[in-house]
Amino acid sequence: METPLAHKRFHPDTTQCGNREFRWGERTYIMGIINMSLDSFSGDGFGGNIDKALKQAKRFIAEGADVIDIGGESTRPGSQPILPDDEISRVIPIIERLSAEINVPISIDTGKSAVAIRALRAGANMINDIWGLKQDNQLVEVAAEAGVPLVITSNQRNQLCRQDIINEVTTDLKRSINIAEKAGVFKRNIIIDPGIGFGKTLEQNLEIIRRLTELKPLNRPILLGTSRKSMIGLVLDLPTDKRLEGTAATVAIGIANGADIIRVHDVRQMVLVCRMSDAIIRRSKGEY
């Protein structure tokens, strides 16, 4: 039996993140979400409760998370931006605690260079920029100088409607990849995210997952973040805390169409979805 085209054509470089290697194509990697914001869309924001956040991060690791993503600013539609100092005060204490107590890489979810600098000093090993290098021109320089993996997201908020969302996302990601490489970010450190949710309609989000394999010519690993998002609620008419099965469906189909790493709130359940999907798609049981 032939390996599915989405995975057969893709042989990107291995990415070193902290003390871990991500060998893209061998299995699907899992990013566990820790929100330190006060108004997370999914209702799981820890605010200033560091002990509770630390407990959840450790539980995620025990359940099979490959990287922990720490964010201090809500990205839900309509949320108000916060100052870098406020974001720093939310994320640095938990990153310092985690980096001293766990051996799994830590990602900082931010679009601000000042936050990224402090987070990397505190022990973070990856930058996850949901703005695709559009918000802060210095962020890419921080990633290049530190030599850490950089997730760049295609974000269409505050833009005009698109006729072909895949073409829009592809063009947007190419632009961000070029910016990153020109700044000195190694290609092996670039991870792309089509940006489910960010400024896209329900139909466009569904189409991105359906046509995810069309991003493979960019020759970079794909991060897919669908966990509990509004498109699932719109399709199934369910609140955020009832979207587990819908998330599982998007993860399984995303892996079939080429996703290499998934960003999720429910690590234990999604590890099982990834393991089963990988056994079918990659013909590999993997080690989770």
Name the active-site residue from 112, 118, 229, 243: 229
CA-CA distance, 141 to 259, in Å (whole number)?
27
CA angle (269, 212, 257) in 5-degree steps: 55
CA-CA distance, 55 to 95, in Å (whole number)?
13
What is the Cα 264 distance to its own chain's centre? 8
| 175 is annotated as an active-site residue | no
CA angle (265, 270, 275) in 5-degree steps: 155
CB 10 within 8 A of CB 144: no
Name the active-site residue from 90, 118, 216, 263: 263
The β-bridge relationship of strands 20-22 and 15-17 is: antiparallel
CB 240 within 8 A of CB 42: yes
Q: Where does residue 82 rank: exposed (0-12), middle (13-18), buried (19+ CB within 10 A)?
A: middle
CB 114 within 8 A of CB 142: no
| 263 is annotated as an active-site residue | yes
Catalytic (active-site) positions: 229, 263
